[in-house]
Amino acid sequence: MAQATRKKPVAKIAGAAVSTRIAAQSHFRTLRLGTPLQPRIDALAKTQDWYNWAGYRAPHSLWDEELEYFAIRSQAALFDISPMTKYRIEGPDAEALLNRVTLRDVTKLKSGRVHYTAWCDDEGFVLDDGTLFRLSPSHFRLCSQERHLPWLLDSAVGFDVIVEEETEAVAGLALQGPTSFAVLRDAGFAGVEKLKIFDLADFPHDGGTVTVSRTGFTGDLGYELFVPADKALSLWDRLMTSGEPRGIRAIGYTALNRARLEAGLIVANADFTTAEHAIRADRLRMPDEIGLGFMIDLEKGHFNGRRAILEARAKRKLRYVLVGLEIEGNIPAEHAIVYHRKAQEVGLVSAAMWSPMAKRNIAIASLARPYGDTMVEDLWVEIYAMRELQYQKLMKRAKVVARPFIKLDRRTANPPADF
Amino acid sequence: MTGQNGDHHAKFRAFGNGSRKNEERVVRKDWAKMKAWDAIVIGGGHNGLVNACYLQRAGLDVLVVEKNDWVGGAATSRELTPGFLYSNCSYVCSLFRPEIMRDLELPRFGLQVISYEGGAVFTRDGDYLANYRDHDAHRREFARFSKRDAEAYDRYARDVTRQCRFIQPLLMRTAPDPTSLRPRDLGELLYLGKKFAGLSAQEMALTLRFWTMSISEFLDEYFETDVIKANFALSGIIGTALGPMSPGTAYVLLHHYMGEVDGSVGAWGYARGGMGAVTKALAASFKASGGTIRIGAEVDHVLVQRGKAKGVVLAGGEEIYGKLVVSNADVKRTFLKLVEEKELPDIFLRRVKNFKIRGSSGKVNIALDSLPEFPALPKDSPVYRGDMHFTDSMERMERAYDDWKAGRWSADPFLDMVIPTTLDPTMAPPGKHFMSCFVQYAPPKVNGREWTDADRDGFAESVIAQIAEYSPGFRDRIVHMEVRTPREIEAEVGLTEGNIFQGELTFDQLLFNRPVPGYAQYRSPLSGLYMCGSSTHPGGGVMGAPGRNAAAEILRDLAKSTSHMSPAHDVI
């Protein structure tokens, strides 16, 4: 006897939520999204040299990666940071939640200030680093490389707080370089001269508001501007117009990456592997192992990973150290192996370049302790320089040096100078 | 099982009826005349052929006997209606070991595996949830349903990948016997122990949980959205007589994730020309190295003399002698049908009888005169080239299993549906398509009795009705259809109860417990009789590893070189 087939009719499309969801289906046709600033970027993209930044079509370079770098150091450079992951964290318990999640003491972060921070899983391994903006006593913006919504929401249980991903809703622009202040002032951002390093303030723009912070990823004088996506193009135009006499240029990531290396700043999943992406257990890193130990505030009470970090410190279980290296010669040592006495492998260079500002061959490397920590003598890097289909193998002496590799007074000067 | 009884029995089986003395003389004469193969492989499925290829290449003279008029077992492409090739059992390829493909030169003999693009679960509100190959598109797709779950995928993928990396190297190694003190077993145990010790405490805990918990509970640790969980859970139940809420299904998911297509781990693909391309290439490789295949040769029983396998007797009574016999049939068919019970130790026999190899699935294979349309799916969607499903909640999946427990096929079945002709032009005339629907659940018996043709038609209707709900006009596109319940699969392919894995992949039946404790190293209680099917470690799926590992053990017993067998690729 045959069974009856149970009818489960497909329901008629109902509800606004479903139709919104269905309307979003078409994203599969655009694998790399444009940012709100894409029309301007595309118009300037002479090299058509793109990469995938978190699902967005972002420029490696726009016209000349070398000259784009010098625009950062000599004039002002405009860089689209819209693809950066952004979370709105708001509510009476926002401070308490962030204090619990991140390493630094958020109660010390005043409204209108920004700090660079990081956060760990329960084992004390770094999930990401990023910047935390305190827009008001109860309203924060967390910017990061990777995505952390489940982590933030799960941590928020029991806190009176809203956590919302706002990457697409908020566009971001980095304006960096010695004339960046003058560009902003000339664009009519009245009072922007009052911003000290890591200060932020709101300014009127195009019938709305733009949040300007004196922050950046270049080690230079610079600002970051956050604006609702629909005001992004007018903000771009406003800056480009006012910056034109001062040589403002749009740039791609390669130039920015050089500037950040000179500034000694690290990039998640380039200089260390974030915990949620580390498939191999030995790739996990504690803050002390990637140079972020300074953020850890043991006085502030419990935060994620605190116990593990304390134990690792007490039992000397920290296995790695991230250092700045100065390498003899001028051949960049990117991804070179670091040796002790030219024989024992002790680490790897994660980023390297010839620094035009420092006129030195610089690098960031992760070394296995005690090398780079208590043993800093007799370190070498082996550089494989491919030259016309032949490797020129070089063994060059490396010296552990403090970061940043360059220190520019104009970055912190108050009031900021015109150039 | 040595001594008088066994000896007598073996003679009896070998000699048939009549005076023992006369028969003995006759056969002794035959022994002298007849060729004795170095090895006889029972069953020309992919594992039997892999095994035969490796043995032949080691210099043995190997015969494969296959009951059907074609080789392939459950990896076949059959032209059941003119112009259409049916992958009528297994239908996608991922687990087949690349080391085996290379060792046996399968590309040279025509094997090509093509990756396919994601897939989707259709939802009852007129939408779908797709899986895209592009990482960011995948996240954006999940974000349509839940921003939180969209961002939870990375952690999930990390944990599943970690577990796969732990298990993958074990696939191509013989599982150690934990009760043995032989140096080799100790060495393998140590390897396993070291690998386990190499995990962090947290990973160890996760590993143990992974091997025992339900897929539903496992997914609860990462995701909140029902349709997203249903999307992942399907890999935990395919081929298994368990529901998503049954313990042990998390491992089944892992088993499906371990595959790779050309280095792309976790990817799934179509064998160009259908799954028969796998066994066709294996058969060609085997013959090219001098092997012999006899089709239409069903084995009635294994010839046993003095507790030792001496050959096989075909259904027609023909005796074929071999120095050893390897069975590609599942462990129940091998020891409960092909060998007389009294030849086997009691405990072994009891365990074989209790081995879980429950039928849980069926197939509906359809030739279509045009590509079906799914109004929910944009016409240019890559999902047409992937796997499609209609079970959009964990509860529906579990309810489908409830029907199985009650001895019925699922009224609202779970389908894993693919249209390989969207990527493989060799399987149907231009513009026409072959569709494979894997259907779960289908019980081995309906309400305790055998399947009838009417049952089969009812089962097919449950499938067609489900598809037609999402694809109006679907019925009109059907040119031809083949419906296979466990009854048909067992009758044709020989898989007991139609179980696609030759035994469930639950932790009690894995590693050194597969198929039964003490016999996990491809040998059997009978000297000269080996197992090489998916009933053995590391289990089912068109993987080839059991066949390969069995060959390695046989060659070890014969003190022959295994230098033609690549070890598992390193997992770095």
Does residue A288 share a domain with residue A179?
Answer: no
User: Do A290 and A359 reside in the same domain of the chain?
Assistant: yes
The answer to whether residue A92 sits within a structural domain is yes
- Does A251 lie in the same domain as A110? no
Residue A13 lies in a domain: no
Q: Which has the closest alpha carbon to A290: A232, A192, A377, A369?
A: A369
**A143 and A116 fall within a common domain:** yes
Q: Is residue A58 part of a domain?
A: yes
Distances (CA, A) of A19 to A9, A10, A30, A202, B145: 18, 15, 20, 36, 12
Domain final residue, candidates A229, A262, A295: A262
Q: What is the pLDDT of residues A70-112, one digit of tens each?
A: 999 999 999 999 999 999 999 999 999 999 999 999 999 999 9
| Amino acid at position A7, single letter | K
Q: What is the mean pLDDT of chain B?
A: 91
Tokens for A396?
A: 């060059």
C-alpha span between B515 and B539 (Å, rounded): 9
| pLDDT (mean) for B479-501 | 96
Q: Which residue of A has its CA nearest to B135?
A: A55
**Test mutation, A18, A21, A144, chain B, max B CBs within 10 A:** A21
- The pLDDT of residue B357: 95
Using an 8 Å CB-CB cutoff, list chain B residues near A6.
Answer: 411-412
pLDDT, tens only, B43-95: 999 999 999 999 999 999 999 999 999 999 999 999 999 999 999 999 999 88
For chain B, list the domains and their CATH numbers: 4-74+273-356+502-557 (3.50.50.60)
Predicted pLDDT at B192? 83
pLDDT value at A194 more than 80: yes
Q: Is the CB of A147 inside 8 Å of chain B's CB atoms?
A: yes
Predicted confidence at residue A2, as pLDDT, reads: 47
Q: Is the Cβ pair A11, B124 closer than 8 Å?
A: yes
Domain carrying residue A153 = 85-165
Q: What is the mean pLDDT of residues A361-389?
A: 97
CB-CB neighbors (< 8 A) of A31 in chain B: 134, 136-137
Q: How many residues does chain B have?
A: 572
Which residue of chain A is at minimal alpha-carbon distance from B455? A2
pLDDT score at B562? 96
Residues in chain A: 419
Residues A285 and A212 in one domain: no
Same domain (yes/no): A182, A61 = yes
State residue B261's pLDDT score: 67
Q: Do A55 and B139 touch (CB under 8 A)?
A: yes
Nearest chain B Cα to A83, which residue? B136
In angstroms, the separation between the Cα of residue B545 and the nearest Cα of chain A is 25
Name the domain boundary from A262, A292, A311: A262
Yes or no, beta carbons of B457 and A29 under 8 Å apart? no
In this structure, the answer to whether residues A77 and A98 fall within a common structural domain is no
What is the model's pLDDT at position B26? 40
B162 CB neighbours in chain A (<8 A) are: 279, 281
Residue of A5, A154, A157 to mutate when probing chain B, most B C-beta within 10 A = A5
- Give residue-wise pLDDT tens across range B13-40: 333 333 434 444 444 445 546 789 999 9
Task: Indicate whether A409 belongs to any domain.
Answer: no
Residues from chain A that touch B152, judged by Cβ atoms under 8 A, are: 149-150
**CATH number, position A91:** 3.30.70.1400
If asked whether residues A182 and A236 sit together in one domain, one would say yes
Type of residue found at A292 = L
Pick from B121, B128, B142, B154 the residue to mutate for testing the A interface (most A CBs within 10 Å): B154
What percent of chain B clears pLDDT 90, i.e. is strictly above it? 78
Asked if residue A370 belongs to a domain, the reply is yes
Closest CB to A150 among B132, B151, B408: B151
B7: pLDDT strictly greater than 50: no
Give the A window 53-82 contacts with B, CB below 8 Å: 54-55
Model pLDDT, residue B33? 60
State pTM to two decimals.
0.92
Residues A184 and A214 occupy one common structural domain:
yes
Task: For B184-212, write each residue's pLDDT tens digit.
Answer: 888 888 888 888 777 778 778 888 888 88
Q: In terms of domains, do A183 and A254 share one?
A: yes
Same domain for A302 and A188: no
Backbone angles phi, psi at B494, to 5 degrees: 90, 5
As for how many domains chain A has, the answer is 3
Long-range contacts of A129-133 (CB under 8 A, 24+ apart): A129/A266, A129/A268, A129/A292, A131/A215, A132/A98, A132/A102, A132/A104, A132/A106, A133/A200, A133/A211, A133/A213, A133/A226
Q: Measured between CB atoms, which of B144, B412, B462 is closest to A24? A: B144
Contact A70, A264 (CB under 8 A): no
- Assign B419 a pLDDT band (cuts: 50, 70, 90): very high
Q: Is residue A24 part of a domain?
A: no
Say what the pLDDT of residue B30 is: 52
Which whole number is the average pLDDT over A324-329? 98
| Domain co-membership, A69 together with A110 | no
Q: The domain spanning residue A351 has which CATH number?
A: 3.30.1360.120
Give this complex's ipTM: 0.93
- Residue A55 pLDDT greater than 60, yes or no: yes
- Give pLDDT, residue B35: 83
A391 lies in a domain?
yes
Domain limit, last residue, from A119, A135, A165: A165
Query: For residue B270, which of B36, B400, B113 has the smallest C-alpha distance?
Result: B113
Nearest Cα of chain B lies from the Cα of A126 at a distance, in angstroms, of 14
